[in-house]
Structure 1
Amino acid sequence: MPRCSQAPNTNTTASNTSTLPQQKKAPSPSLSVLFRFRPAPHSPVLCQLAPERLLPAAKLVEAHCDAINVNLGWPQEIARHVNALNKVLSVPVTAKFHIFPEGKLAYAQMHERVGARIHTYHEQGGKKSGLASYANISAVKAAVRIPFVNCNIPFSSDIARCLAETGTDAVMPTEGVLDDAALFHGLPSSSPPFFSFSGHPSSHTALDAYRTPTHPPCARAAHALGSSRAPEA
């Protein structure tokens, strides 16, 4: 997610963006929602916690959120904290991480093994700029079974291309949304999420991620919002 804005925007949702400027080259309406987060009052954000404070803090907000997201950043070794949270919490744990030129597949598979339910991947950082490497995204997507999200989408016109060329399950904005707060304006929002965290369906939308009609086999365990049947592979 964008820096300093990990909490969903409290003023802009999919239902109240009619006054925002029209986006250019919006993706096809055939794309559907992958998952949704609740509005900001139900989405606590914990910032820069020391490792020893992570689990107690997560327990405090566990009953008030749909999932716990761990922003791993560069120090990949703290993936062990995903494992610790996953063993104790009743809500899913997701992970956002950077991928190094070497070891990227091993890092992604490690996060999956320790219990992360969704990967979000941000390649850019430091002196890097521009689009993420679609080759890297494709390689990691092929190496894991859980839903995989590319969170380097500077322009709305990149969304459909990224989904088509990489096979990733969804996209997220990063710095691009700071330049264009209406980055996702004009995208479809009426279809139910394909993936929602079991037992934590949300009826409002503060952040939507869009996906193509196919999904890895792990989706069999997911619950579609508003439906009792699990999605087919």
Structure 2
Amino acid sequence: MSLPLDALKLITAPMVDQSDLPFRILCRRYGATLTYTQMFMASDLISDQSYRREILEELRAGWTAPFGRPVAVQLAGNDPETIVEAARLVEPYCDAIDLNLGCPQKKAELGHFGGYLILSKADWRIATSIVSGLSQSLTVPIFVKMRLCSPVRDTVTLAKELVSSGASVVCLHARYVSSRRRRKGAADLNWVAQMKKTFQYEGISAQVISNGNVRVYQDIQENLKITGADGVMIGEAALGNPKIFSASSAVNYLGCIDLADEYLTLCENYPDTVTLKHVRQHVKSFFAYHDFIVRTANFHAFCEALTCCTNLEGIRSLLSKIKIQGWDRFAGDNQAID
């Protein structure tokens, strides 16, 4: 474990199409101690030259960027040799490699990877073989991010096997794997606590990270109190409020605009690391996080106007228009803004 333990305290989760470099840097600026890339398919990294080039260029840019590190790269797949080969490609530009054992999406079910590698004990050997191969082949630490097994009591057993295979960090999103009900109900943090207690009792040195049930900063403290975990991973709440790591938040629409402007500047500083579609999604999230925005009549008009922005400058123009007119007097239109 070459990363300092305090790097595990406040972690930005891997999120599909949303864990771009500008967003990761934004989270680090506001207190995240470690960020994750989105999930990368190991097989595509090997076989798709364009996909590989895009990922490596972004990782290289982040490697030397202020607040670009530490960063963990998350890989997914079910073939140990392929994942090790992909990991070797990204290893020079990351501080840790994470194996995805939690993705509940339909594509993971069809491709038999992510969370679908932990549903049957017959598949555990695939997961442990991947971790073993990574641990023996790389110099960076190996993490795993997993969900609850079924029966749930098997969760800690599998975690122990993954640690024995070479994982130094286990992050538990304490919900079950389901492609149709990915976030139904609250995460059962008691199982994170059980894992941490078991590791401590049995002298297992691996760190335990808790994922789930965080909406505001106070939830982070409550999560740690319940679980005793070594750190907390935050996903959707960070999308809406990257300042959550520092107990801060926008208090009105002007704060949302300032945050969006800061993000847009990072997008300009690191061009070609995020698509316009995903930039718009981020900006929308900064506003949608707040009930005092979503409940207003103008939120829909804002979303419509944002969709019509054809470049970064168009988004800036929209934000400037709102700043001048005021949120309550803002009237969006469906004309392209550029």
Q: What is the root-mean-square deviation of aligned Cα atoms in Å?
A: 2.8
Residues 1:170 and 1:13: Cα distance change in structure 2 (over 3 Å): same
Instruction: Tell me which residue corresponds to 1:12.
Output: 26
Residues 1:149 and 1:103: Cα distance change in structure 2 (over 3 Å): same
2:235 partner letter:
T
Return the alpha-carbon distance in structure 2 between the equivalents of residues 3 and 47 of structure 1.
12
1:177 aligns with 2:238: yes
2:162 counterpart (88, 92, 111): 111
SS of 1:172's equivalent in the other structure is: strand
| Structure 1 segment 85-96 matched on structure 2, within 5 A | 85-96=134-145
Contact 1:7–1:45 (CA under 8 A) maintained in structure 2? no
| TM-score normalised by length of structure 2 | 0.45
Residues 1:92 and 1:150: Cα distance change in structure 2 (over 3 Å): same
Q: Which runs of 5+ in 2 are unaligned?
A: 1-12, 37-57, 64-70, 103-114, 119-123, 249-338
Contact 1:131–1:154 (CA under 8 A) maintained in structure 2? no
Deviation (angstroms), 1:132: 1.7
For residues 82-135 of structure 1, what are the alpha-carbon distances to aligned partners after superposition, in whole Å with 9 as ceiling and x for unaligned?
111101111111111112223112111111111101111112353243432122
Q: Which runs of 5+ in 1 are unaligned?
A: 18-31, 188-233
For residues 15-57 of structure 1, what are the alpha-carbon distances to aligned partners after superposition, in whole Å with 9 as ceiling and x for unaligned?
3x4xxxxxxxxxxxxxx98x54599612474654452421111
Instruction: Tell me which residue corresponds to 1:165.
Output: 226
2:90 counterpart (61, 70, 81): 61
Residues 1:14 and 1:172: Cα distance change in structure 2 (over 3 Å): same
1:120 aligns with 2:176: no
Contact 1:2–1:175 (CA under 8 A) maintained in structure 2? no
2:198 partner letter:
A
Higher relative contact order (CA 8 A, sep 6+): 1
Contact 1:44–1:64 (CA under 8 A) maintained in structure 2? no
Contact 1:37–1:66 (CA under 8 A) maintained in structure 2? no
SS of 1:105's equivalent in the other structure is: helix
1:161 partner letter:
E
Contact 2:75–2:97 (CA under 8 A) maintained in structure 1? no
1:72 aligns with 2:101: yes
1:170 partner letter:
G
Moved more, 171-180 or 141-150: 171-180
SS of 2:225's equivalent in the other structure is: helix
2:26 partner letter:
T
Q: Percent identity?
A: 23
Contact 1:154–1:177 (CA under 8 A) maintained in structure 2? no
1:92 partner letter:
P
Residues 1:105 and 1:2: Cα distance change in structure 2 (over 3 Å): same
Instruction: Tell me which residue corresponds to 2:146.
Output: 97
Instruction: Tell me which residue corresponds to 1:149.
Output: 209
More helix by share: 2
| TM-score normalised by length of structure 1 | 0.63
